[in-house]
Amino acid sequence: MTSPKLNKILIVPIYPVDFSLVLTLVPSIREIFKCDVILDNTNHLNLSSAYDSSRYQFNSTKIISILSEKFNNFNGKVLGVISVDLFIPVLTYVFGEAQLGGKISVVSTFRLNEIAYGFQENRKLTEERLLKEAVHELGHNFGLLHCENYLCVMHPSTSVEEVDIKSPYFCNDCYEKLFWQISSKFNDYHDGK
């Protein structure tokens, strides 16, 4: 009997978003997490309940709830990619948010684009920043906490400059934790638990 693969990642573009930018994530995330990466392009999410008109921003926690409801039956991790400005109530803005040890995360390109800082668009830089924040949020989904190593992708970023400093990869400690999480869940699954 063939078992469904437990470790897979579904990337969900949430429009309006630059779809070609989202596409750049697929091969890199597949390589970094060593799992199947699927692209869902059937998005019709209504995000009106996540919009805060007093802040002109979208509440990322509410977007995670919307994604969680839509992909409740998906067996894997789900990463939403959006281009609007995100916040959580205690912070001015966030690049993304994830359920720690859960399956849903969201990341925004809004503050990763040089245009947000009054500069000309630098598409290559936006791609690099998006990959780092996507891997960071997925790392949280796999149970990883923030890392003190400023080069590790799990290092927290409170500014885009901090995003630029870190790499898109895990440090050795975080890498070991990640693959312990992935392999133990995979083994639990095959043990019938």
Positions marked catalytic: 137
Strand pairing category for 104-108 and 77-82:
parallel
Q: Alpha-carbon distance 112 to 133, whole Å? A: 9
Token couple for 188? 């639990």
CA dist 111 and 130 (Å) reads: 10
Distance from C-alpha of 61 to C-alpha of 108, rounded to nearest angstrom: 13
Three-state secondary structure call for residue 59: strand
| Nearest to 168, CA basis, from 143, 191, 189, 137 | 137
The neighbouring-strand residues paired with 52 are 57
Q: What contacts 37, CB < 8 A, 6 or more positions away?
A: 8, 9, 10, 11, 25, 26, 27, 29, 30
